[in-house]
């Protein structure tokens, strides 16, 4: 009875806290500008199923893809066992589904156990790739400090989770064998149970060990759930909406700025009255491009929360490969950091909160954004369809159109286009000279 009450309290606190954090993240994402990404729903579902559920883009790098798939499928399938744990926890039952499912139950738990072993194996390899093999993309300067700790912490939590599952099932198997000389027949724990706990002759001790595994597991689950909102690991949830809301246009198509279209049309319209009063409600100047996170679209902000810092983008970025400061992953990480800061500030000090800082300059430097070749390698590589390029371009737009700041050669290039219709200084009348030259 007391354990049931304790469990329900844990369940309510754990889920409540998580829900509160989710709402906070949601309100942060909604600080972004409006954007309609609800068209073409069938294509969106297809993209989500292929890219998030099917992890299609992961498989361009097969080794991490397979390891990740083991971890991912174990995570998904374990949710079934979690349902049983919750029922057992509330009603004080023991393996609630066992009697009603019979042989299928044994199969299911065995399946979960096999996947968990694979996941454990994957986790250990992941830890070694990060800490022993020191894979370049997982050991860049931008990951120093918290991001590196975050990554290792998640992997360690996963090891603890799996250990708890096997402690629970193994002790249960040992107790069952001691009690009735029969095994449940779970694929892994029927072997390791007797191996680890076979010399314990007290049923009570085995039950206590099983309880430690059981509580350890569920405590880890809630700890994990509430760690997610602060971690890069949030991608396990956001991968799904983030791919559903993907940009479905060709990657080469940059957004059209409606606000500019309006002004250009006005300039080109000979009947327009340049002295006409602004229409009602349009007096406030909305800046061109992006200076701070609130100028980005909500999808850019969701991208930032969806990033798990795997670095596939950065490792394929031509600028980064050749030693430039730009790193698409870092663009996403800084966007998230700044968004969390702005979101907290607004919650504490009201929605008009300003701290005198901005994404551009204080977080992302001009040197970074001018190094981009807009080659779309980062966009192509991202396993959850994050688009760092659109942030880079919007930051350029602010610099160029609001502050007239750009490398001097580009000023010349733009002047040439405006004056003679080509990025170089050639006369437009010479455009067809090639046809008569030898």
Q: Which residues bind other proteins (CB under 8 A)?
A: 60, 249-254, 256-257, 260-261, 263-265, 267-268, 288-289, 316, 318-319, 321-326, 367, 370-377, 379-380, 393, 395-401, 406-407, 409-410, 412-414, 417-418, 421-424, 426, 428-435, 437
C-alpha of 55 from chain center? 13
Which is nearer to other proteins, 99 or 418 (by Cβ)? 418
Which is nearer to other proteins, 28 or 246 (by Cβ)? 246
Which is nearer to other proteins, 25 or 360 (by Cβ)? 360
Distance CA(423)–CA(413), nearest Å, equals: 5
What is the smallest separation between the CB atom of 363 and other proteins, expressed in angstroms? Answer: 17
CB of 48 within 8 A of CB of 35?
Answer: no
Distance CA(239)–CA(234), nearest Å, equals: 8
What is the smallest separation between the CB atom of 146 and other proteins, expressed in angstroms? Answer: 27
Residue 363: CB partners within 8 Å, gap ≥ 6? 334, 335, 337, 338, 357
What is the smallest separation between the CB atom of 315 and other proteins, expressed in angstroms? Answer: 11
What is the smallest separation between the CB atom of 318 and other proteins, expressed in angstroms? Answer: 4
What is the smallest separation between the CB atom of 313 and other proteins, expressed in angstroms? Answer: 13
As given in the structure block, the two tokens for residue 228 are 């997610």
Q: Is 238 exposed, middle or buried (0-12, 13-18, 19+ CB in 10 A)?
A: buried
Which is nearer to other proteins, 92 or 428 (by Cβ)? 428
Distance CA(179)–CA(357), nearest Å, equals: 67
What is the smallest separation between the CB atom of 38 and other proteins, expressed in angstroms? Answer: 18
What is the smallest separation between the CB atom of 342 and other proteins, expressed in angstroms? Answer: 23
Strand partners, 360: 364
Which is nearer to other proteins, 352 or 409 (by Cβ)? 409
Which is nearer to other proteins, 208 or 374 (by Cβ)? 374
Residue in 337, 358, 366, 371 with CA at minimum distance from that of residue 291: 358
Which is nearer to other proteins, 217 or 334 (by Cβ)? 334
Distance CA(140)–CA(327), nearest Å, equals: 10
Q: 98: number of CA atoms within 13 Å, CB side? A: 12
């Amino acid at each position: 009875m007391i354990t049931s009450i304790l469990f329900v309290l844990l369940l309510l606190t754990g889920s409540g806290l998580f829900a509160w954090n989710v709402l906070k993240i949601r309100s942060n994402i909604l600080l972004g500008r409006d954007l309609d990404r609800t068209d073409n729903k069938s294509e969106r579902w297809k993209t989500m199923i292929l890219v998030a559920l099917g992890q299609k883009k992961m498989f361009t790098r097969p080794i991490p893809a397979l390891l990740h798939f083991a971890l991912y499928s174990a995570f998904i399938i374990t949710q079934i066992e979690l349902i049983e744990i919750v029922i057992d926890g509330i009603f004080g039952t023991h393996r609630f589904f066992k009697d009603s499912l019979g042989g299928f139950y044994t199969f299911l738990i065995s399946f979960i156990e096999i996947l968990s072993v694979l996941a454990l194996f994957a986790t250990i390899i992941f830890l070694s790739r990060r800490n022993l093999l020191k894979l370049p993309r997982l050991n860049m300067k931008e990951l120093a400090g918290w991001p590196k700790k975050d990554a290792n912490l998640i992997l360690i939590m996963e090891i603890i989770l799996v250990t708890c599952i096997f402690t629970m099932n193994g002790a249960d198997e040992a107790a069952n064998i001691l009690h009735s000389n029969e095994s449940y027949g779970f694929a892994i724990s029927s072997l390791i149970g007797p191996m680890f706990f076979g010399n314990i002759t007290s049923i009570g001790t085995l039950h206590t060990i099983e309880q430690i595994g059981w509580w350890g597991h569920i405590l880890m689950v809630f700890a994990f759930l509430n760690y997610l909102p602060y971690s890069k690991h949030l991608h396990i949830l956001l991968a799904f909406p983030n791919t559903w809301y993907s940009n479905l246009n060709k990657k080469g198509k940059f957004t059209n700025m409606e606000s500019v279209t309006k002004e250009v049309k006005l300039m080109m319209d000979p009947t327009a009255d340049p002295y006409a009063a602004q229409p009602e409600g349009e007096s406030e100047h909305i800046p061109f491009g992006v200076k701070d996170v609130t100028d980005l679209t909500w999808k850019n902000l969701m991208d930032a929360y969806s990033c798990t810092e795997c670095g596939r983008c950065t490792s394929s970025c031509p600028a980064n490969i050749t030693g430039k400061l730009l790193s698409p992953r870092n663009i996403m990480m800084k966007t998230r950091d700044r968004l969390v800061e702005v979101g907290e500030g607004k919650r504490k000090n009201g929605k008009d909160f300003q701290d005198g800082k901005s994404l551009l300059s204080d977080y992302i430097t001009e040197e970074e954004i001018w190094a981009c070749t807009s080659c779309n390698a980062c966009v192509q590589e991202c396993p959850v369809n994050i688009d760092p390029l659109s942030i880079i371009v919007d930051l350029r737009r602010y610099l160029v159109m609001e502050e007239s700041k750009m490398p001097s050669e580009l000023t010349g290039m733009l002047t040439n286009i405006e004056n003679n219709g080509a990025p170089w200084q050639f006369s437009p009348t010479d455009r067809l000279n090639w046809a008569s030259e030898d």
